[in-house]
Amino acid sequence: MPYRLLTNATLATMQDSTSYGLIPSASLVVESGNIAWLGPDQQLPGRFKISDNESINCQGQLVTPGLIDCHTHLVYGGNRAVEFEMRLEGASYQQIARAGGGINSTVRHTRDANEQELFDKAADRLHGLMTEGVTTVEIKSGYGLDIENEIKMLKVAQKLADQNPIRVKKTFLGAHALPPEFKADKDRYIDYVCDQMLPAVVEAGLVDAVDGFCEGIAFSVEQMEKVFDKAQALNLPIKLHAEQLSHLGGAAMAAMRGALSVDHVEYLKSQEARILADNNTAAVLLPGAFYTLRETQLPPVQALRRNNVPIAIATDLNPGSSPLHSLLLTMNMACTLFSLTPVEALAGVTINAAKALGLDHQIGSLEVGKSADLVIWGVDHPAVLSYEIGSNHCKSVMIKGQWRENNHQPILN
Ligand code: DI6
Ligand code: FE
């Protein structure tokens, strides 16, 4: 069977998150959608040199794993530009939320939109990410907040996956905000999430993981525990928006239950980093939300590093706290705002993002046996990806061994 062959590449293999794992003048062989061999050009085994193989000379350009945006809310109706104006006039994110705006304003617009309208807008956002070399994206529900509308959102996410050359992970975020029809009764809503919504979306086959928003303006640690009890009884992995605006202890609770990730974590205490490490829980940093909300509390990056917690970064693409549509810009922001190194930023959107989705056996690094999801970049060093602001050097993208046409098929030679 013919192979696909890349030669003369600068591979950033990202096999561990502490170095690029650079191999200059390297070859990479793709067979049946997976990486069959990689290493220095001179060591390429003779059996891969046969003439009917597709062979591409990368001319020294950088090749990385496909990028992974492991935390987005990219299916939603309307936008929150007016709230952006309100915040600039002095209102806080929490004040706007308490006055019925915020997440609930997007819930109204999402409930009003039909599936096609949601799909068309979300497809535009997704295509924007894809042009930057994103080959895997996580998409959360959480703006429907009832069975019909959460299913509508998750179906849109599924349709995006079916109609685009991208891997999509769908996360149920029913415990995102209290919808107005539940008045002030958060406990009653959590019972509805556990007893009715979650079983219904799982029955529809639309859920890969379960998330929640553990915060003063959302749900308590105890309420999230109820949701996780139910999720884990259904054998679903869990993750949590935790310690974003204040410290409630949700991150430690989720980690002790083996959560894939805890996300935001600006207010995580340094001593809690160990709990994440002990449970193999990734910390997903979201500099877009930090920036948009003009947060000043930095996540405890030193403690995360010291404890070898996998650090991922993501856009958090959403209409309220992070209208950020670029994963490359997110890498730059993670470096400048959170002092991540460019190695950590690239690991944050490859191997560690794969860990945050429970997919690191399959994607996230250039490694024999993993899916051939990769990007050819017109740069000579991987740090350029984090260093430049607003550029996009993505030249060609391969997913599951296939060149993605709208990301240009490389010229054969
Ligand atoms: N934290 C976030 O960053 C998003 N959800 C959450 O729980 C924000 C969602 C929004 O403001 O619409
Ligand atoms: Fe989020």
Determine the angle formed by the axes of helices 147-163 and 115-131, rounding to 10 degrees.
40
In this structure, the answer to whether residues 102 and 28 fall within a common structural domain is no
Q: Give the Cα separation of 174 and 103 in Å (integer).
A: 12
- Residue 90: is its pLDDT beyond 90? yes
Quick one: tokens of 229? Answer: 């009890």
In this structure, the answer to whether residues 58 and 131 fall within a common structural domain is no
Ligand 2 centroid to Cα of residue 74, in Å, is 10
- Residue 413: is its pLDDT beyond 60? no
Q: What is the tens place of the pLDDT at every residue in 122-142?
A: 999 999 999 999 999 999 999
Ligand 1 centroid to Cα of residue 141, in Å, is 11
In this structure, the answer to whether residues 151 and 202 fall within a common structural domain is yes
In this structure, the answer to whether residues 51 and 114 fall within a common structural domain is no
H helix intervals, 246-312: 250-256, 273-278, 287-292, 301-306
In this structure, the answer to whether residues 90 and 210 fall within a common structural domain is yes
Q: What is the tens place of the pLDDT at every residue in 330-342?
A: 999 999 999 999 9
Nearest residue by C-alpha to atom 8 in ligand 1: 321
Nearest residue by C-alpha to atom 4 in ligand 1: 321
The answer to whether residue 413 is domain-embedded is no
The predicted pLDDT at position 51 comes to 79
H helix intervals, 101-143: 103-112, 115-131
Which of 84, 109, 313, 316 has most ligand 1 atoms within 8 Å of CB, for mutation? 316
Q: Residues 263-271: what's their mean pLDDT?
A: 98
In this structure, the answer to whether residues 43 and 98 fall within a common structural domain is no
Ligand 1 centroid to Cα of residue 195, in Å, is 24
In this structure, the answer to whether residues 174 and 47 fall within a common structural domain is no
In this structure, the answer to whether residues 199 and 164 fall within a common structural domain is yes
In this structure, the answer to whether residues 121 and 44 fall within a common structural domain is no
Query: Does the model's pTM come out above 0.85?
Result: yes
Residue 18: CATH number of its domain: 2.30.40.10
Residue 180 is part of which domain span?
67-356
Q: Which ligand is the nearest neighbour of the Cα of 145? A: 1
Q: Residues 221-228: what's their mean pLDDT?
A: 98
Cα dihedral 374, 379, 385, 388 in deg (nearest 10): -150
Domain count, the chain: 2
H helix intervals, 213-249: 221-233
Q: Residues 21-47: what's their mean pLDDT?
A: 97
- Residue 81: is its pLDDT beyond 70? yes
| Pocket lined around ligand 1, Cβ cut-off 6 Å | 73, 102-103, 106, 176, 213, 241, 244, 289, 316, 318-322
Residue 407's pLDDT band (boundaries 50, 70, 90)?
confident
Q: Give the Cα separation of 408 and 43 in Å (integer).
A: 28
In this structure, the answer to whether residues 138 and 24 fall within a common structural domain is no
Q: Residues 4-11: what's their mean pLDDT?
A: 96
Q: Residues 174-188: what's their mean pLDDT?
A: 96
Which DSSP category does 340 fall into? -
Least confident stretch, 41-55, 188-202, 276-290: 41-55
- Using the structure block, give the residue that is written with the tokens 């996956």: 161
Which atom from ligand 1 is nearest to the alpha carbon of 173? 7
Buried b (16+ CB within 10 A) or exposed e, 349-361: bbbbbbbbbbbbe
